[in-house]
Amino acid sequence: MPSIDLISPIDGSVYLTRETMPREVAFEAARKSRLAQERWRNRPLQERIDLVLKANEIIGRTTDRMAVELAHQMGRPVRYGGEYGGFNERVTYMAGIAGECLAPDVIEDSDTFNRMIKRVPWGVVLVVAPWNYPYMTAINTIAPALIAGNTVILKHASQTLQVGERLAEAFHEAGVPHDVFQNVVIDHDTTNALIAERAVDFVNFTGSVGGGQAMERAAAGTFIPVSTELGGKDPGYVRADADLDAAVDTLMDGAMFNAGQCCCGIERIYVQQSLFQPFVEKSVAWVNAQKLGNPLDHETTLGPMANIRFAREVRAQISEALADGAKAHIAQMTADDGQGTYVTPQILTNVTHDMRVMRDESFGPVVGIMPVADDAEAVRLMNDSRFGLTASIWTQDRDAAERIGDLIETGTVFMNRCDYLDPALCWTGCKDTGRGAGLSKLAYQALTRPKSYHLRNI
């Protein structure tokens, strides 16, 4: 039977192996999910909320194990303690707003008419989750989907297969029925078949542009909603009135944390000319203070990239940029042998948008920094991208930040922060970043469909 090997980025060893589910077994799982959904949606809303909160509590008891397992699977240093902080924040917020968001919208309640719009669950929700924040990105959809009365089938990334298993264990221990929340290990063809043959009713996909295109192709003609969060090339813009030290600390962390493997990580920075040189100097000092090494070492601040193929892409973009005239500011670090998963974090200047490192998604520890004359030039360059997830503006002028934000083609605008997902705000993108509405009250609208009632008394 075909299987998947999870290769640890720490040393290239096989961390675990799992057999892939045969197509007929996957379809049987979807059938059971559909049968279970009717019973699940009829349970009181508060019961569903309580079970999801119980699963969250169970996950919270395993943070030490989570941190070690994530280090083995995708390389994040154990010093950061896993993902429970953000996981818990998202679950509790979505649970807290569920009653209001899922309540009927009553238009009229009179002796003659009762008119209202209810929110009803789609049915079976397929969540295809990524490896870079494997707990938090998955729960963004799992929690509101279950609370809204859907059943969930989770297909986790091959790099983080164990995370899917841990989530299933927690939800089942909490009392969520096995057929209501299922974790499956399936290949791309089976995933596409489940969508194309309408074995599921809603798809949430986080991953590459190519992966999102495959999901949409599979759903073509089925009218199954496909929500996607795909690539990014998120910019930072430092205005002349910015707090320079705060901008350096936050933007460099946004560029380098998790080895640069963040959906909304900073991949390009534009700095007004008067601050450009000091910004670069302070940024170089910040990066040189990092320790690249084994993520199981508590002294390590920057671990390996999750997979050798990701590291090769980052090195290729850097090499091409240098060949075209870019300047590298960080010397090769000891842990970096030049060909493995441990990649020296790099700052590049003398870059242009003709270079792939400023145009294509890097998803690694490299950032290009360019000087700009004014807001207009910064806006033009920030919009010169096929992606649109977030943008970070550094200024003391909130009105200016909002004005600039209105001009930027992106899903989220930050002022004086970056690389953060606020569960009260809609997580969304535009252009090749895809389309969708994660978290916030809009997540409940996305994970349900409107159903209108026009009741007349005679």
Position 209 scores a pLDDT of: 96
Stretch 367-387: mean pLDDT: 98
Q: Determine what percent of the chain is predicted with pLDDT higher than 90.
A: 100
Position 234 scores a pLDDT of: 98
HSE of 99 in the Cβ direction (CA atoms, 13 Å)?
A: 7
User: What's the pTM value of the predicted model, to 2 decimals?
Assistant: 0.97
Residue 249: other Cβ atoms inside 10 A? 14
Dihedral in degrees, nearest 10, Cα atoms 12, 15, 17, 21: -100
Q: Which residues contact 200 (CB under 8 A, 6 or more apart)?
A: 30, 33, 123, 124, 125, 126, 153, 194, 224
* CATH 3.40.605.10 domain residues, the chain: 3-230+434-456
- Please answer whether residues 37 and 121 qualify as being in contact, where contact means their C-beta atoms are separated by less than 8 angstroms: yes
HSE of 52 in the Cβ direction (CA atoms, 13 Å)?
A: 34
Which class is 234-422 in CATH? alpha beta
Is residue 229 annotated as a catalytic residue, yes or no? Answer: yes
End-to-end CA distance of the chain: 64
CB contact burial 47-73 (16+ within 10 A = b; e otherwise): ebbebbbbbbebbbeebeebbebbbbb
CA 361 to chain centroid: 14
- Please answer whether residues 169 and 197 qualify as being in contact, where contact means their C-beta atoms are separated by less than 8 angstroms: no
The partner residues of 106 in beta bridges, in order of sequence, read 116
pLDDT tens digits for 234-287? 999 999 999 999 999 999 999 999 999 999 999 999 999 999 999 999 999 999
C-alpha to C-alpha distance for 267 and 258, rounded to whole angstroms:
13
pLDDT tens digits for 169-214? 999 999 999 999 999 999 999 999 999 999 999 999 999 999 999 9
Mean pLDDT of the chain: 98
* Cα three-residue angle 194-199-200, rounded to 5 degrees: 90
Position 429 scores a pLDDT of: 97
Which CATH fold topology does 3-230+434-456 show? Aldehyde Dehydrogenase; Chain A, domain 1 (3.40.605)
Beta strands in 56-135 (DSSP E): 105-109, 113-121, 124-129
Residue 276 token pair: 């450009």
pLDDT tens digits for 394-439? 999 999 999 999 999 999 999 999 999 999 999 999 999 999 999 9
pLDDT tens digits for 25-49? 999 999 999 999 999 999 999 999 9
Report helix, strand and coil shares of the chain as percent, to nearest 5: 45, 20, 35
Rg (the chain; Cα; Å):
23
pLDDT tens digits for 139-176? 999 999 999 999 999 999 999 999 999 999 999 999 99
The active-site residue out of 229, 267, 313, 361 is 229
Stretch 80-109: mean pLDDT: 98
Strands 124-129 and 113-121: unpaired
For the chain, the residue count is 458
Stretch 93-102: mean pLDDT: 98
One-letter-per-residue 3-state SS of 153-175? EEEECHHHHHHHHHHHHHHHHHC
Whether 223 has a pLDDT exceeding 80, the answer reads: yes
337 DSSP assignment: -
* CATH 3.40.309.10 domain residues, the chain: 234-422
pLDDT tens digits for 310-352? 999 999 999 999 999 999 999 999 999 999 999 999 999 999 9
Whether 1 has a pLDDT exceeding 90, the answer reads: no
Stretch 63-68: mean pLDDT: 97
Angle between helical axes of 63-74 and 161-174 (0-180°, round to 10): 160
Stretch 373-378: mean pLDDT: 98
At position 246, the amino acid (one-letter code) is A
The active-site residue out of 263, 264, 418, 426 is 263
